[in-house]
Every structure is written in C-alpha cells, then in structure tokens.
Amino acid sequence: MKSTLFKVLTGFIIGATAVGGYAIAVPSNVPVVKACVDNKTKALYTSSNGSCAKGRSAIDIGATGANVKSIAQLVSPSVVSIEITSLAGDGTGSGSIYRSNATTSYIITNNHVVESAASGGTISVELNNGDVYPAVIIGRNSDYDLAVISIKKGNLPEIPKGDSSSLAIGDAVIAFGSPLGLSGTVTSGIVSALNRPVTTGSTSVESYMDAIQTDAAINPGNSGGPLVDAQGRIVGVNSAIATLGATTTGSIGLGFSIPINQATRIAEELIATGKSTKPILGVSFDPSYTGVGAKVYLLSSGKAAEKAGITVGSVVKTIDGFKINDAISAIVRIRSHAPGDQVVMVVESSSGVSKTYTITLDSAPALP
C-alpha cells in the first residue's frame, strides 16, 4: 500500500503538497440502526429492538446511506464548542462528550485546541442547548494531538462509540463542529483514504496520526469535533486539513481525523491518570536518508529493536504489510499501535539482505 505524507501545521495550514496515487471510492453496505424520534421535541433516541415509547416514532438510520438529518439530531447534543482565552490569544474549537456521570462530563478534543490554556488561561464549553460552563484540562497528549477536558455538569448525552478499524474507503461520514466559531455545523462526505500518515505541529513537538482522510468539509474551529459514521457513531476526531497555502486556508476536501480506536486508548488513560503512553520501537531514523524506507540511525539500549537484533544502517521496508516510504510513515505505523503490541517488520540490512522480525513494542510516557 502506497502511503503519502502530508506535513500539516497545527491550525490547519500547510503549503502546496503534491499527492501521489489515487484513493478509489468503492461502495459498501451500510447497516441500519433503529431509532425513535420524539414527536414533540424531535430529539432522537436509539432503540435496541425497533420499538418506541408513546410519543415517539420509529425511524431507520443508514438504510440508504447516511441519513444526515437523523444523524444530526442524534449526535448534535453530544457535540460541544470550546472557547479558549489565554496570553497567547483567543481561539475556538470543538469536542465530543466522551463520558458523563452524575456530576462530571469528560470531553475529548485536540491538544492544539487547549494547549495555550495549559500554562494560564481559561476554557469554556458551550453545550448544544447554549449553556456555557467553565472547563479544566484533565490531560494532554501532544504526540497524538489529543486532550481531555471536563466540566462540572453531569448526565449529559455521551457520543455513541464506533469502530474505526471497520471503515472502508467510500463509507459515508459526517463531520460536526464549530468551524470559524459557527457552532452546530454539520457537513457530510465519504472516507477518501485510510492509514494516511500525517504530522501536525512544530518540528520540536510533532504529532503523528494514522489518519482517516475525508472530503467532508472541515475548517478551522472543527478541530476536536467528531467524525461519525452512517449510524451516528464517532469514528474519528477531526484534527487537520490540507490547504494550498497561507492565503487559502479553507477546506479543499482534504480533511484528516484521528481514528477513534487510537483516541479511545489515550482518552481512557488521561481520564484515569491525567497522563498517557505511547509505543516505541527504540529507534531513531536518519532524517537525511533519501531512499525508499526508513534508515536506522541510532538504537536505544535495551529497547525492542536492539533486543530483536536490528542493526544501525539497516532500512525498514514494511511494517505489518504496509510499505514504508520514509521515516514519517514508519513512525506513524508504530504510533498506530499500543504499547505491548507486536509488529511484523521487514528490514533490509546494510549488506542488502532482507529479514522479517516480530517485535513487541515498548512503552514510554507521551508528551503532554
């Protein structure tokens, strides 16, 4: 599988990027979800067996693709707008109600949405009904551009969870958020590509994502909002877009979302401990290498790669069957896993001999 690198700056701006290869949209069967719509309030409720209480009418979601109107009713109460005030300036973003108990609701968003408030500033969250609450940061992970914040308001509707590993190119998806401060915005599209290696942030603090690419319109302010499937389940956290330069910063149909399966692991760790982890191979790659693959420049003593027998100067060619074009694609493939996972790597030695390694990834603290 050919991977294409997009270098995306935090805040959704990149320079002109040449795209290699094509993403082919193929039709897929869309499962049907039974739901009930309140005849008076028009609020949408899931139904396990298709039956509805008095005052509610049955409705199918996903019967002929994404029913955007129905999904908007189902998902919008779980989507929030986020406003940041800090010494570095003001900003806006989006988030999803990930977990809610009797007193507190936890919201998943992007790290770049809230990081300026981490060292002084305020965060406020506006719910779908217009109510506004102060928020605090529970934890941040700049390695994956994810964060969890919380508000002291309980019993809020949690966003339905999906499975990003079940996505296929061509699947219908819908993006929610507050682009340019316009809260409650909904756009629709398809999954344009999967496993797209994307980096965001500065050279010193980069985030890496094994991104879902979509043509659903995503703009500044959509950061942290959910990408949902045809059943209204979150499958990604919207994080970045590609643009044609600093003077053209709107959506051109190249949006990128962090897969929810990856985001869920990090969110759970942040809620439990305020910190999170990342998988490591124990390798530094040579940034000057211009060949195809990722060339090993340094090995960390006692870590997974050294213990497996990989040597300095060798070149990583594939990871789990994915072709590795460069160091970024290698890092993204490793980061798509969790600590303790096994990966299968084909590595070519400096003498040109290829060997397959099965390696158990080590764990390291992620950067806040």
Residue positions annotated with a catalytic role? 112, 145, 223
* Alpha-carbon gap, residue 212 to 201, rounded angstroms: 18
Beta carbons within 8 Å of 249's beta carbon, 6+ residues apart: 12, 13, 220, 243
Which has the closest alpha carbon to 287: 3, 2, 9, 5?
5
Pairing state of beta strands 44-46 and 33-38?
antiparallel
* Alpha-carbon gap, residue 179 to 185, rounded angstroms: 7
Which has the closest alpha carbon to 12: 229, 206, 238, 194?
238
Which has the closest alpha carbon to 185: 194, 176, 193, 195?
176
- Pair 328, 199: CB distance under 8 Å: yes
The rounded Cα 318 to chain-centroid distance in angstroms is 23
3-state helix, strand, coil in the chain (%, to 5): 15, 45, 45
* Alpha-carbon gap, residue 359 to 346, rounded angstroms: 11
Sheet holding 33-38, edge to edge: 44-46, 33-38, 56-61
Which has the closest alpha carbon to 159: 264, 84, 59, 67?
264
* Other C-beta atoms lying within 10 Å of the C-beta of residue 340: 11
Pairing state of beta strands 234-241 and 255-259?
antiparallel
DSSP string, 331-368: HHHHHTS-TT-EEEEEEE-TTS-EEEEEEE-EEEEPP-
DSSP string, 294-340: EEEEEE-TTSHHHHHT--TT-EEEEETTEE--SHHHHHHHHHTS-TT
* Alpha-carbon gap, residue 70 to 59, rounded angstroms: 8
